[in-house]
Amino acid sequence: MTFVGQKSWRALTCLPRFGAENRDRLEDLLFAAGCQGLWDHILDNYADTEGPEVAADDAVCAKNSRKSPPAPLTAYFPETDMSVLAELALRLAALDLISGPPQIEDVENEDWLESWRRNFKITELTAKTLVVPSWQELPAAETRLGLRIYPGQGFGTGTHETTRLAADFLEKELANVKEPATVLDVGTGSGILAILAVKRGAAQVLALDIDEDALSNARENCAHNQAVAQVTLSSLPVAEVDEVFHIVVANIIAPVLRQLAPALPALVAAGGCLILSGMLREQLSEVIKIYSALGFVVKETSTAGAWAACVMR
């Protein structure tokens, strides 16, 4: 998944009603309306702290939101008409998902990125792997794998459930491959899954993205992790890929997973697997049905918050 390059954004900041279900529904509606990034202001309290125990992680947000009043939530929209956001604000209020009127303002791209980088901390990606800001060092006593990531405009810093779900499945599947694995990462964003694949033993990874800004970010992150030789970054359309891979991972929204369905099966090697993430819980059954009709069988599913992922063979 990627954040499309923008010079500026429109930011809608609201105060969610208390309760995890209300928050999940609010986030779903914001993403459905075209939101391309969320910032939970509970993380503002952690700006000057260190260590994975206070990482900028959705699990931390969820844990704290159940114990204290909700913090404001900011949703970022690219090139969205102000009247559309005003109508969205009225809808959220009518559904009783927010308290008080939201604030809508223009935000310069560099200001938003700098805020994100300033609050980006060591984050748990999986039980065995941490995401580390490229300018920070892991504690000396830390034994888990650290992926060094610079948060640019490529989606995937370990803070979103879809990335963590895909990463968890990717680690498990790589452990089961008996030969040097090849991996296709569709919608690589920051390159985090491609880098994880290399660090967990993949011999070669082809990482695709349609956004040049994301590819540039991924290229930088590969360099931070000494993975340049193993990762090929490309804007090649999926339909034009002529190789097969032990593992194909696609962390993209459900509509794109549906569009890619005709092309992906031919890219999975015999005995290989397909990891699909980026869909909402209620979209999982539909996506599984589409890929099952193409000959895949579900091996495992997993959910986190409002999101879902699956492994198919």
Same domain for 271 and 218?
A: yes
Domain assignment of residue 117, yes or no: yes
Measured CA to CA, the distance from residue 167 to residue 232 in angstroms comes to 19
Domain assignment of residue 154, yes or no: no
Chain length of the chain = 313
pLDDT of residue 306: 81
Same domain for 195 and 81?
A: no
Last residue of a domain, one of 102, 121, 140: 121
Same domain for 168 and 82?
A: no
Domain assignment of residue 58, yes or no: yes
Domain assignment of residue 21, yes or no: yes
Pairing of strands 103-108, 145-149: unpaired
Measured CA to CA, the distance from residue 140 to residue 9 in angstroms comes to 39
Last residue of a domain, one of 121, 151, 170: 121
Domain assignment of residue 136, yes or no: no
Same domain for 166 and 299?
A: yes
Q: Are 256 and 290 in contact (CB under 8 A)?
A: no
Domain assignment of residue 133, yes or no: no
Q: Are 303 and 162 in contact (CB under 8 A)?
A: no
Q: HEC string of the chain? A: CECCCCCEEEEEEECECCCHHHHHHHHHHHHHCCCCEEEEHHHHHHCCCCCHHHCCCHHHHHHHHCCCCCCCEEEEECCCCHHHHHHHHHHHHHCCCECCCCEEEEEEHHHHHHHHHHHCCCEECCCCEEEEECCCCCCCCCCCEEEEECCCCECCCCCCHHHHHHHHHHHHHHHHCCCCCEEEEECCCCCHHHHHHHHCCCCEEEEECCCHHHHHHHHHHHHHCCCCCCEEEECCCHHHCCCCEEEEEEECCHHHHHHHCCCCHHHEEEEEEEEEEEEEHHHHHHHHHHHHCCCCCEEEEEEECCEEEEEEC
Q: What is the pTM (predicted TM-score) of this model? A: 0.70
User: How many domains does one find in the chain?
Assistant: 2
Same domain for 33 and 93?
A: yes
pLDDT of residue 99: 92
- CA atoms in the 13 A half-sphere facing the CB of 68: 8
Domain that holds residue 63: 8-121
Same domain for 224 and 92?
A: no
pLDDT of residue 76: 86
Same domain for 105 and 189?
A: no
Residue pLDDT, tens place only, 248-306: 999 998 889 999 999 999 999 999 999 999 988 989 999 999 999 999 999 999 999 88
pLDDT of residue 42: 61
90, two tokens: 């009225």
Same domain for 169 and 255?
A: yes
Same domain for 31 and 106?
A: yes
pLDDT of residue 28: 84
Q: HEC string of 58-123? A: HHHHHHHHCCCCCCCEEEEECCCCHHHHHHHHHHHHHCCCECCCCEEEEEEHHHHHHHHHHHCCCE
pLDDT of residue 109: 62
- C-alpha to C-alpha distances, 58 to 39, 159, 246, 306, nearest whole angstrom: 10, 6, 30, 11
pLDDT of residue 50: 40
CATH code of 280's domain? 3.40.50.150
Same domain for 75 and 206?
A: no
Task: Spell out, as residue ranges, where the chain has pLDDT lower than 70.
Answer: 1-7, 42-69, 109-119, 152-156
Which residue matches tokens 């931390």? 60
pLDDT of residue 107: 78
Same domain for 170 and 84?
A: no
Domain assignment of residue 279, yes or no: yes
CATH code of 113's domain? 3.30.70.920
pLDDT of residue 126: 97
Domain assignment of residue 144, yes or no: no
Same domain for 112 and 183?
A: no
